[in-house]
Structure 1
Amino acid sequence: MNADIKTVTVYPTTELELTTPTKPANGSKDDDYDPHQHRDVKNPTTNWQTFAHFLKASVGTGVLAMPSAFSHAGYVNGTIFTLIIGLLALYCLHILINCMYILCKRQKVPYVSFSEAMKLGLKQGPPWLRCLAPIAVPFVDGFLAFYHFGICCVYVVFIAESIKQLVDEYLVVWDVRLHMCIVIIPLLVIYSIRNLKLLAPFSSAANLLLAVGFGIILYYIFDDLPPLSEREPFVAFTQLPTFFGTVLFALEAVGVILAIEENMATPRAFIRPCGIMNAGMSIVLGLYILLGFFGYWKYGDEALGSVTLNIPQSEIPAQVVKIFFAITTWISYALQGYVTAHILWDKYLSKHVRESRRTGFELLFRAMIVLLTFGCAIAIPDLSVFLSLVGSFCLSILGLIFPALLQICVQYTEGYGPFRIKLIINVLLLCFGVLGGAVGTYVSILDIIEVYK
């Protein structure tokens, strides 16, 4: 599995450089330093490989929950709010990556991580926020690692449920937890790949399987659609937090997106107006709205946590879909879990291990992560409630609150533009993220209690 190939680039930055920022001169107009030209990435990915990773990172099990999400919003609300949340998520990714680039120029370093950017930004921001700088790195790293760990837990459940449906139909009926035990070995195998470039062919293959799988699902959905009048265009406001959490979980993969941008050979192509991120998110949003709208139209309030559970269980094409999505989710496990291992191992643990032993210990550490995700999946096997909880709690913070707070800090010395428009937008994003995250988390916890009481 090419386990000896190192996946993380260590840039020549020092603690002094990262903690004593230089003040920019009028937005650094006279500064010719371009961080993109100074990156020295081992095994960089091409634009097409990055695009494949982006699609695979953004189109996971969450898209299959979109019909269920629409049942908590209605087909009108669902369409409008999915578009709004998607555009907000994309906007926040743009301001996050742009702020990281500005900080790199100020520090004259090739790259800073999300957590390091938050620390630097807080140090340069309003005085009343600077006291938060010392806790920024562990706080952001902790949320990123926990979020992507949570995604991997959901993936274990999804893969096991897909296999269970197939085995139940043709062989023997087993508890889903037994199937989770079976998938541990394949997960250990793919999670031992530590190089995003080596994972790129897997992502490309997974995207092809996703395309075929979506085609089959849409075939079942479009077959004998009921009258649209039988579905609700709007639902009670109290159901929207569950919708918010599910959609945010489905759309956001901030840690992986930053990781694949870091690993690019030409990172400038990632954020161009017609670049990888905008093009990829357009495709992703289109797929999510398409499947959510028509899936809800077809199944209504009977839409389950994964639409693959609604299509006929005994027909061959339906079984093929489950196999395809189980394979693509298996591949996504390595992509999402890359972030957790990258943060915990490379930033905190590897420095305590002799270099000659690091490969073996890292593989052992990755095996421990797989076993921990298995344990959590055993404890909470209900897919839909876990999706909403992880999305509401982590993504509102990582995808909305932190990027808005970072731009407030980074722009502090340069101003916020006419009428302080950037400050106003970011304050609104902070309020939306706090309110949506708090209410969504509360409702998700109530749902979990209801399921397991």
Structure 2
Amino acid sequence: MTKLDADNSRGRASEYSAICKARQENGDHKGAAAGGAMISLPQVHYLDGSQPLDDYNPHLHRNVETPTTNTETLIHLLKGSLGTGILAMPNAFFKAGLIVGFVGTILIGSLCTYCIHVLVRSQYQMCRQLRVPILSYPRTLELAMKQGPRVLRGFSTYAGTAVNAFLIVYQLGICCVYIVFVATNIKQVVDEYHETKLDVRLYMVMLLLPLILINWVRNLKLLAPFSSFANVITFVGLGITLYYVFDGIPSPSERNMVGHVVDLPLFIGTTLFALEAVGVIIALEYNMKNPVDFGGYCGVFNRGMVTIVFMYVFVGFVGYVKYGEAAAGSITLNLPTDQKLAQSVKIMFAIAIFITYALQCYVPLEIVWSTYIKDRLGQASSTKKLLVEYLMRTCIVIGTFLLAVAIPRLELFISLFGALCLSALGIAFPATVELCLLWPSKSYGRFYWILVKDILLIVCGILGLVIGTYVSIANIVHSFL
């Protein structure tokens, strides 16, 4: 997570600002009705690919300044998996047990992969129908719901706002996790050299000004050299971490094969947080030189996700075998506190995640600024706009800081935001898009299996959101008692 985040943040920012805004009015092109009425779109036949809609190919009309090759996209996708998510997997396996964790991670990874395929495929079909090169995720859900079942059309006006809200909350949630992660790892190192043990919240206070300053950087290109450096130390840190994991690792038979049922929502939330990155993936697909190679059984996305799921299963499995019930919210916190090599790992990850904070925060900053603030300033001077933007950036950083100070529980943060946001963004919303897109033609296949499947996915997403969020909040409350 680093240079990848810079590339992806630029891609996501362009998706939610310049591109989305430039194309948004095209939603009324080729039969799209204004005023929230049902959109009359051509019949969809993408399931078997036998009946193309017309000769318009959105891929050929995309104007990407610096498109990425298949290999570059795959590398970006893989590098994006090395962050707080993978470091939290041993704790997730502790919640689920070895067998449930192993099987559950593969199933959740497969589900996330399938739902992303559904979303990307549906976006492509809608772009063909509307004859536009790209549609943002919020705009996709909004337009799809306008042509879906009558009961959903009334909510289409709020669909884009809902997607933006979940994206903003999720990205800011990641920033909260990063603040807790950096402060906790620094505290462990400093505590070894000072008798006075400061509260982790004081370390967060020390981080506040540097976080504000790094988020005042409006051009992500300035962070690119730091991102490259962070990439290197992330890989080195993970390698050293695995060295400690395999040093004297016990037998798997000493660990639970199945965890407690009440902890399964925490496992699901943590795994979703680690595996699901819908905003990043959409940005990667959009920026590809050959986006047609993204999908398919042996496409770039599937190859990347197979590797990522394997890495998460591997780190989660061996990490839990090594540390058992002591597996912390980040495996770095389980490393020895009195060895300089282990201390260096914690400092490495703290530096890398600190840099990544600015990159992760860039997305909600861009959404809030471009969608909700910039246009309202009207004809204000450029100086006033700049001051308002810096004030907005400062307030958002302070908001994530206050939440992190209020709840400095890393593993509970990860589970909460995974369940709260990604159940909707990664599962329920993609299924809703497909269900609504096929509604006019009722092309749901034999026995309406696609309709049944999408309804089940929506139900699973809602249940994951409600149950996972409830359990995470209950555990947060319990941790203070």
1:446 matched residue in structure 2: 474
**Cα 1:199–1:260 shift into 2, 3 Å:** farther
Choose from 356, 359, 371 the match for 2:382: 356
1:406 equivalent in alignment to 2:416: no
Q: Deviations over 1:379-429 (max 9, x none)?
A: 111111111111111111111111111111112234012332322222221
**Cα 1:30–1:79 shift into 2, 3 Å:** closer
1:321 and 1:444 mapped to 2: Cα distance? 29
**Cα 1:50–1:312 shift into 2, 3 Å:** same
1:67 matched residue in structure 2: 90
1:435 equivalent in alignment to 2:463: yes
2:363 matched residue in structure 1: 339
- Which range is displaced more, 114-123 or 210-219? 210-219
1:99 matched residue in structure 2: 122
Task: Please give the secondary structure, in 1, of the residue aligned with 2:154.
Answer: helix
1:393 equivalent in alignment to 2:388: no
Choose from 323, 334, 354 the match for 1:299: 323
1:379 equivalent in alignment to 2:400: no
Q: Which amino acid aligns with 2:205?
A: C
Superposed, 1:323-334 pairs within 5 Å as: 323-334=347-358
Choose from 395, 404, 414 the match for 1:368: 395
The Cα of 1:47 is off from its aligned counterpart by 5.2
Task: Please give the secondary structure, in 2, of the residue aligned with 1:58.
Answer: coil
Q: Which amino acid aligns with 1:407?
A: E
Sequence identity of aligned pairs in percent? 46
2:446 and 2:388 mapped to 1: Cα distance? 53
1:178 equivalent in alignment to 2:202: yes
1:423 equivalent in alignment to 2:457: no
2:41 matched residue in structure 1: 23
Unaligned segments of structure 2, at least 5 residues:
1-5, 34-38, 46-50
1:287 matched residue in structure 2: 311
1:85 matched residue in structure 2: 108
Structure 2 contact 185–350 (Cα < 8 Å) conserved:
yes
**Cα 1:389–1:12 shift into 2, 3 Å:** closer
Q: Which amino acid aligns with 1:156?
A: I
The Cα of 1:376 is off from its aligned counterpart by 1.1
Q: Which amino acid aligns with 1:132?
A: F
Task: Please give the secondary structure, in 2, of the residue aligned with 1:173.
Answer: coil
Q: Which amino acid aligns with 1:384?
A: E
**Cα 1:437–1:366 shift into 2, 3 Å:** same
1:203 and 1:88 mapped to 2: Cα distance? 30
The Cα of 1:327 is off from its aligned counterpart by 2.2
Q: Deviations over 1:133-169 (max 9, x none)?
A: 1111111111111111111111111011111112222
2:158 matched residue in structure 1: 135
**Cα 1:50–1:30 shift into 2, 3 Å:** closer
Q: Which amino acid aligns with 1:393?
A: L
The Cα of 1:249 is off from its aligned counterpart by 1.1
1:259 and 1:183 mapped to 2: Cα distance? 30
**Please, what is the CA RMSD of the aligned residues?**
2.6
1:187 equivalent in alignment to 2:215: no
2:198 and 2:74 mapped to 1: Cα distance? 38
2:172 and 2:287 mapped to 1: Cα distance? 21
1:320 and 1:244 mapped to 2: Cα distance? 31
1:144 equivalent in alignment to 2:167: yes
Structure 1 contact 148–339 (Cα < 8 Å) conserved:
yes
Structure 2 contact 26–130 (Cα < 8 Å) conserved:
no
**Cα 1:355–1:107 shift into 2, 3 Å:** farther
The Cα of 1:213 is off from its aligned counterpart by 1.6
- Which range is displaced more, 71-80 or 136-145? 136-145
2:199 and 2:478 mapped to 1: Cα distance? 21
**Cα 1:339–1:112 shift into 2, 3 Å:** same
- Which range is displaced more, 381-390 or 6-15? 6-15
1:192 and 1:420 mapped to 2: Cα distance? 51
Q: TM-score, normalised by structure 2?
A: 0.86
The Cα of 1:194 is off from its aligned counterpart by 4.7
The Cα of 1:64 is off from its aligned counterpart by 1.3
Q: Which amino acid aligns with 1:17?
A: G
Q: Deviations over 1:299-331 (max 9, x none)?
A: 111111111111111111211111221122123
Q: Which amino acid aligns with 2:454?
A: N
Unaligned segments of structure 1, at least 5 residues:
none
1:228 matched residue in structure 2: 252
1:12 matched residue in structure 2: 22
2:264 matched residue in structure 1: 240
Q: Which amino acid aligns with 2:458?
A: L
**Cα 1:239–1:67 shift into 2, 3 Å:** same
**Cα 1:283–1:413 shift into 2, 3 Å:** same
Task: Please give the secondary structure, in 2, of the residue aligned with 1:387.
Answer: helix
The Cα of 1:210 is off from its aligned counterpart by 2.5
Q: Deviations over 1:201-232 (max 9, x none)?
A: 55554343222222111111111122322111
The Cα of 1:50 is off from its aligned counterpart by 4.3
The Cα of 1:436 is off from its aligned counterpart by 2.5
Q: Which amino acid aligns with 1:24?
A: P
1:216 matched residue in structure 2: 240
Structure 2 contact 145–152 (Cα < 8 Å) conserved:
yes
Q: Deviations over 1:77-100 (max 9, x none)?
A: 100000100111111111111111
Structure 2 contact 24–139 (Cα < 8 Å) conserved:
no
Q: Which amino acid aligns with 2:101?
A: G
